[in-house]
Amino acid sequence: MLMRHAHTTDKLAQQSDRERTLTALGYSQIEKVALALQATSFSPDGIYGSPAVRTQQTAQQLIHLLWPDQKVILWEEIYSASLDTLMEKLQQLPNVQHHVMMVGHNPVISFLAASLSRQEVPHFTPAALVILNFAGDWKDIGPNTCTLHFQLTP
């Protein structure tokens, strides 16, 4: 599953981009996502997020609502990576993880979804997500190797 972080505050004068936090709208979006995900069979073996506060808040709220035994694994690359770098990170995942979630940032999270999927994937708005199906070893994931199973734009 690939997800963009939920709606955030504007950057304040003395604040770094990484420190931006979710708004009330962002938390409302996550609740809608959680309700929709309850209707699917998706349960992640691993949840990966960038070190930015807004992605951590997004992932932590979903964990609180749906998967209380999970923890977020921080990948610096999700914050500032290129499409190729994120693809390489996916290819390095252990095969014991069958279902993973990545919470990231636009435009790269949208580009990654569009690259992986054989179907058209819309540009991600805040809290948008897709669940992609992939059959094989992680080392073999790449462009056009996944099928779109579920998408949501709250």
> What are the residue ranges of helices labelled H in 21-137?
24-38, 53-66, 76-80, 83-91, 108-116
Domains in the chain, start-ordered, CATH in brackets? 2-7+17-152 (3.40.50.1240)
pLDDT at 27: 98
Q: Tell me the pTM.
A: 0.94
pLDDT at 52: 97
pLDDT digits (tens, 9 = 90+) for 14-61: 889 899 999 999 999 999 999 999 998 889 999 999 999 999 999 999
Interatomic CA distance for residues 21 and 58, integer angstroms: 9
pLDDT digits (tens, 9 = 90+) for 87-139: 999 999 999 999 999 999 999 999 999 999 988 888 899 999 999 999 999 99
With beta carbons less than 8 A apart as the criterion, state whether 124 and 108 touch: no
pLDDT at 150: 93
